[in-house]
Amino acid sequence: MKERAASAVVFNIATKKFLVVKRADTKDEHPGQWEFPGGYVEENEEPIEAAARELKEETGIVSEPIRTGEKGVYEKLEVNPFLFAVDNEEVELSREHTEFKWIEKKDLEKLDTVIGVEQEMEALDIQ
């Protein structure tokens, strides 16, 4: 069975930008790469619950998803993407990440991202 994860693609309604976070250099996998907040789905937890939990743990943002995307499989990990909307840029990073940025979708290609970031946006029908 594949490990399941959930990602939280956060869209700022006011600025029309997306939140990306940079993985700490101490991480075993993909240190220093940019990603959307997210993490593993725990036992007896639905992916949508995991996305909201991870979003709060990693950024301090409390929100409910407004859209669900088709899951994708990257490096033996099943990722379930969810779109969250916020109206401010307040972020309180956990130790898992060292930086955050609010970017336009076109800026993603300029960043060193983990595998699947662009596909997650496509799965959420973000043009």
> Across all residues in the chain, what is the average pLDDT?
95
**d(Cα 124, Cα 28) in Å, to the nearest integer?**
28
**d(Cα 125, Cα 127) in Å, to the nearest integer?**
6
**d(Cα 9, Cα 117) in Å, to the nearest integer?**
9
* Residue 28, pLDDT above cutoff 90: no
Check which CATH number belongs to the domain holding 23 and give it. 3.90.79.10
Provide the number of structural domains found in the chain.
1
SS3 74: strand
Q: State how far the alpha carbon of 118 is from the alpha carbons of 25, 53, 95, in Å.
A: 22, 22, 25
Write down the pTM of the prediction.
0.94
pLDDT tens readout for residues 63-75 = 999 999 999 998 8
Provide the pLDDT confidence category of residue 76 given band limits of 50, 70 and 90: confident
**d(Cα 38, Cα 15) in Å, to the nearest integer?**
22
pLDDT at 1: 56
pLDDT tens readout for residues 1-26 = 579 999 999 999 999 999 999 999 99
Average pLDDT for residues 83-111, to the nearest whole number? 96
pLDDT at 75: 80
Percent of the chain with pLDDT over 70: 99
